[in-house]
A and B are shown apart, each in its own frame.
Chain A
Amino acid sequence: MSPLTEQQAKEYWRRNVSLMVKLMVVWFVVSFGCGILLFDFLNQFQIGGYKLGFWFAQQGSIYTFVVLIFYYAKKMAALDIEFGVEEE
């Protein structure tokens, strides 16, 4: 059913997973990293009235999540076209 050879299908999946892993690392760093584990360290910096760790936990992580999803959607749409597996 798939228009790809087994080799191509493997390559498509590998590229998808590699993009996914990179973005999941960012996802982890901004929330669990900056918002929780590095919280005390980052709090010595300020953006306006926000301590930086606090900002990541209550604002910054959420903005980053939104950017991550759209970036993934855009990259994958391009990958679909490259492999000729986009839908009509």
Chain B
Amino acid sequence: MDLQTLSYLFVGGTFALYLGIAFWARAGSTKDFYVAGGGVHPVSNGMATAADWMSAASFISMAGMISFMGYGGSVFLMGWTGGYVILAMLLAPYLRKYGKFTVPEFIGDRFYSKTARVVAVICLILCSVTYVIGQMKGVGVAFSRFLEVEYATGLFVGMVIVFFYAVLGGMKGITYTQIAQYCVLILAYTIPAIFISLQLTGNPLPQLGLGGKVAGTEIYLLDLIDRIVVDLGFKQYTTDVRLSTLNMFAYTMSLMIGTAGLPHVIIRFFTVPKVKDARSSAGWALVFIAILYTTAPAVGAMARLNLMLTIEPEPGEFLVYEERPQWFKNWETTGLLVFEDKNGDGLVQYSADPAINDMVKIDNDIMVLANPEIAQLPNWVIALVAAGGLAAALSTAAGLLLAIASAISHDLLKGMIAPNISEKQELAASRVAMALAILGAGYLGLNPPGFAAGTVALAFGLAASSIFPALMMGIFSDRVNKEGAIAGMVAGIGVTLFYVFQHKGIMFIPGTEFLGSMQPNWFLGIEPNAFGCVGAVVNFAVAAAVTKVTAPPPASVRELVDHIRIPAGASTAHDH
């Protein structure tokens, strides 16, 4: 069967599955809608969290970034997994014990202030919206590349699918679809990786293959990559530090605490029955995530090697452009791969020296998507990758949309504007909010604002500098008061936004970056994407200082803090 038909079959099949689940898991109450009834098994929740967490960026872009960054790409691997240790020990059990529906609700109660709740809602919407744009783009790109439909049509189909299960089922529908989506995306990621690892090293486990020898030789795979890239003038793959040790440290820390502060991840832990389950569920989530995250470095390195060996089959002998393989031509038409014969010799010369390098552009995203083609795997594997990329993008989009919709219907509408609406009315309102959020995200996916490119990283910086410190202080201190928390959040997110804008432009509009994007102007050499942890430090410091000079919190706060620290007496998530 040809690739096109197979792709339609795989994608169509998985979509039918998601729709089936949507009808089966309809939400009957606000509790169903916000926290899936509070009865999700910790292993199931772990799997759903993994799908929720692993976005189009994890599935499509990460291995490609590692491919070209080598050791420097480790910031994503450690940063996007280490956050779960923080979640499991410092946040999830206590927030679960508190048993409310949303993150701003906890912040509002702990800091006895509607203003704090509104500030938290604004921070939540800022990070979730920047994040969701990337997912919508991922859906559009996957459709247009694999099914050869228009970007807009692809986006529209994706929106309709999410609409069905998210509006009908809320968190309940999303949870069960995410479990199915996890299965699809993990198969789609690991099957090609196993094939490629077998081809290159003879070892079916990519995690071991990466540390193994190239099949039929006595040379280690990583040593071979190091040798080839160094010969072409690139930095050694296994030791290429991202800018500086301090920058790698800051980047990893920002991604870790950003992960722990992302509302759409935190609310997943409100769905399990007990505090005990919240702890173990974070472990299960990380197991399911680790399967992909320990495979990704192998995919990245092996894809780099295969690419190098295609372009330069023997040392010093480059590919003749006219004899380039089919995948090369396919990706050239998308503009993600650009060849320019600088010296006119008809050879594809690849080098770190821009003066003689003919491979003008190799987009990161190609590496995972084209990997099966480069390794000449069968068509069904390539079709599976298409379905996997869509599963990754849709599952994350749905989780983010739920976080946004519940902040609007539960925190803003029920919490502030109309506290007396009935449960039925709130459920209806949450469905409307979800529908509006999908339309909004779709609109932003179709007309991505100029800043869409760098935004997923920004979302982490914002969560790290605003929500994470507020939650930490709320749980671990009974002294921090509302003035401190509000000032801290505003200062943290303000400093982070200011730093990003001054180097990348206000709202990323080119020309407005008043300090320039140049490295010499960076504070301690820290790149803007890695600045969230500095914002978090500012948040903690400002909160502590302001707390010191303002009135202490009321006695009820002390009771609340004591209450969340001890598991007994946790009821399932409730509304009052």
Given A62-B290, A69-B85, A77-B276, decide whether A54 and B567 contact each other with a Cβ distance below 8 A.
Answer: no
B61-100: which have CB < 8 Å to A? 66, 71, 73-74, 77-78, 81-82, 84-85, 88-90, 93
Q: Are B279 and A87 in contact (CB under 8 A)?
A: no
Known contacts A1-B569, A66-B287, A85-B568; decide if A57 and B84 are in contact (CB<8 Å).
no
Q: CB within 8 Å of B: which of A1-25?
A: 1-4, 9, 12-13, 16, 20, 23-24
Known: A50-B211, A70-B283, A73-B280. A65 touches B82 (CB 8 A): yes
Q: What are the residues of chain B within 8 A of A2 when measuring CB–CB?
A: 562-563, 566, 568-569
Cα(A65)–Cα(B78), bound, Å: 9
For chain B, what secondary structure do more than half of its interface residues adopt (helix, strand, loop), or is it mixed? helix
Q: Which residues of A contact B66 (CB under 8 A)?
A: 58
Determine if B78 and A48 form an interchain contact, defined as CB atoms under 8 angstroms apart: no
Contact residues of B between 266 and 295, Cβ < 8 Å to A: 274-276, 279-280, 282-283, 286-287, 290, 293-294
Task: State whether B252 touches A49 (Cβ < 8 A).
Answer: no
Whether B297 contacts A69 by the Cβ 8 Å rule is no
B82 touches A27 (CB 8 A): yes
Contact with A along B32-52 (1 / 0, CB 8 A): 000000000000000000000
A10 to B565, CA, bound (A): 10
Question: Which residue in chain B gives the minimum CB-CB distance to A84?
Answer: B568
Chain A residues with CB under 8 Å of B279's CB are: 69, 72-73, 76-77
Which residues of B (207-236) have their CB < 8 Å from a CB of A?
A: 207-208, 210-213, 220-223
A61 and B82 contact, Cβ closer than 8 Å, known pairs A36-B249, A66-B290, A87-B568: yes
B447 sits at the interface (CB 8 A): no
CB distance from A7 to the nearest CB of B (A): 13
Contact B223 A62 (CB under 8 A): no
A16 CB to nearest B CB, Å? 8
- Complex formed: what's the CA distance from A76 to B567 in Å? 10
- Given the complex, which residues of B lie within 8 Å of A20, measured CB to CB? 89-90
- In the bound complex, residues from chain A placing their C-beta under 8 Å from that of B84 are 65, 69
Shortest beta-carbon distance from A10 to chain B in Å = 10
How far apart are the CA atoms of A77 and B286 in the complex, in Å?
19
Q: Which of A20, A40, A73 has the most CB of B within 10 A?
A: A73
Are A12 and B210 closer than 8 Å at their CB atoms?
A: no
Query: Which residues from chain A contact B276 at a C-beta distance below 8 Å?
Result: 73, 76-77, 80, 86-87
In whole angstroms, what is the CA distance A2 to B241 when docked? 50
Min CB distance A32 to B, Å, is: 6
Give which listed residue, B88, B294, B568, contacts A72 with CB less than 8 A. Answer: B88
Among B221, B238, B241, the most chain A Cβ lie within 10 Å of the Cβ of B238
Among A9, A16, A59, A76, the one with the most B-chain Cβ atoms within 10 Å of its Cβ is A59
Contact B85 A68 (CB under 8 A): yes
A1 vs B84: C-alpha distance when bound (angstroms)? 30
Query: For B238, what are the chain A residues with a Cβ–Cβ distance below 8 Å?
Result: 43, 51, 54
* CB pair B88 A57 closer than 8 Å: no
**A54 touching B71, Cβ below 8 Å:** yes
CA distance A40 to B476 in the complex (A): 36
Q: In the complex, which residues of chain A have a beta carbon less than 8 angstroms from the beta carbon of B208?
A: 48
Instruction: Tell me, in angstroms, the Cα distance from A86 to B566 when the chains sit together.
Output: 9
Contact status of A73 and B283, CB under 8 A, knowing A32-B252, A59-B297, A86-B276: yes
B174 lies within 8 A of chain A by Cβ: no
Pair B283/A57 contact, Cβ less than 8 Å: no
Complex CA distance for A50 and B81, rounded to whole angstroms = 20
- Please state if B567 and A80 are interface contacts (CB–CB under 8 Å): yes
**Residue of A at shortest CB range from B300?**
A58
Chain A nearest CB from B122 CB (Å) reads: 30
B89 and A72 form a contact (CB under 8 A): yes
- Interface contact A57-B282, CB-CB below 8 Å: no
In the complex, which residue of chain B has the Cβ closest to the Cβ of A1? B569
- Please, which residues of chain A bring their CB within 8 A of the CB of B222? 49-51, 54
Residue contact B211 to A55, C-beta cutoff 8 Å: yes
Residue B239 interfacial (CB < 8 Å): yes
Chain B 355-392, CB-CB to A under 8 Å as 1, else 0, gives 00000000000000000000000000000000000000
| Contact yes or no, A70 B297, CB < 8 A | no
Q: B241 contacts which chain A residues (CB < 8 A)?
A: 39
**Known contacts A49-B210, A80-B567: does B90 contact A31 (CB below 8 Å)?**
no
Q: Are A59 and B78 in contact (CB under 8 A)?
A: no
Q: How far is the CB of A50 from chain B (nearest CB, A)?
A: 4
Cα distance A32–B88 in the bound complex, in angstroms: 19
Give the residue of B220, B286, B293, B563 whose beta carbon is less than 8 angstroms from that of A1: B563
Show 7 A/B contacts (Cβ-Cβ < 8 Å), sorted by A.
Answer: A32-B252, A48-B208, A48-B211, A49-B221, A57-B74, A59-B207, A73-B282
A-side interface residues toward B, CB under 8 Å? Answer: 1-4, 9, 12-13, 16, 20, 23-24, 27, 31-32, 35-37, 39-40, 43, 47-51, 54-55, 57-59, 61-63, 65-66, 68-70, 72-73, 76-77, 80, 84-87
The 7 A-B pairs with the shortest beta carbon distances in the complex, nearest first, are: A49-B220, A57-B74, A69-B283, A85-B568, A48-B211, A73-B279, A58-B297
